[in-house]
Amino acid sequence: MTIPGVGLKTVAAVISTTGTEGKAFSTATQYIGYIGFFPKIFQSGDKKRENKISKREPKYLRWALYMAAVASIKHNREMKSLYYKKISQGKSEKQALVYVAKKLTHIMLIMLKSG
């Protein structure tokens, strides 16, 4: 609850999948893979696109983290600067929001593990 922009529902969603100490996943990368915050590759012949995220595993958790990213852009200076940094690198708004959500996920998992 100490991260600006992250509310009680988001914390409850994260704890429901990781446990109270975050030991369900050994690394944050494994947890991000479980959530489905990675690009889904669509390929047919010569055509290839990578503009959508995977629809894997808990939909409510992806939604909660995405909404926390939206709120943290308004209330958290570090996340706001990270968002605009990604926008300036040529990412779309949604891609930048997913990146912020991934960063929040890393922070929350580290906070759970370290106490």
In a domain, 107, yes or no: yes
At 39 the pLDDT is 66
Residue 1 covered by a domain: no
Model pLDDT, residue 50? 62
Residue 78 lies in a domain: yes
Residue 40 pLDDT grade (very low, low, confident, very high; cuts 50, 70, 90): low
Over pLDDT 90: what percentage of the chain? 20
- Phi/psi region, residue 42 (left: phi>0; alpha: psi -120 to 50; beta: rest), is beta
Q: Which residues pair with 52 in a beta bridge?
A: 40
**Secondary structure percentages of the chain, helix, strand, coil, to 5:** 60, 10, 30
Q: How confident is the model at residue 71 (pLDDT cuts 50, 70, 90)?
A: very high
**Confidence class of residue 31 from pLDDT cuts 50, 70 and 90?**
confident
* 102 domain residue, yes or no: yes
Half-sphere exposure of 17 (CA within 13 A, CB side): 25
How much is the pTM? 0.78
Distance, in Å, from the CA atom of 76 to the CA atom of 78, rounded to the nearest integer, reads 6
Count up the domains in the chain and report the number.
Answer: 1
Could you tell me the residue range of the domain that residue 57 belongs to? 8-114
Would you say residue 3 lies in a domain? no
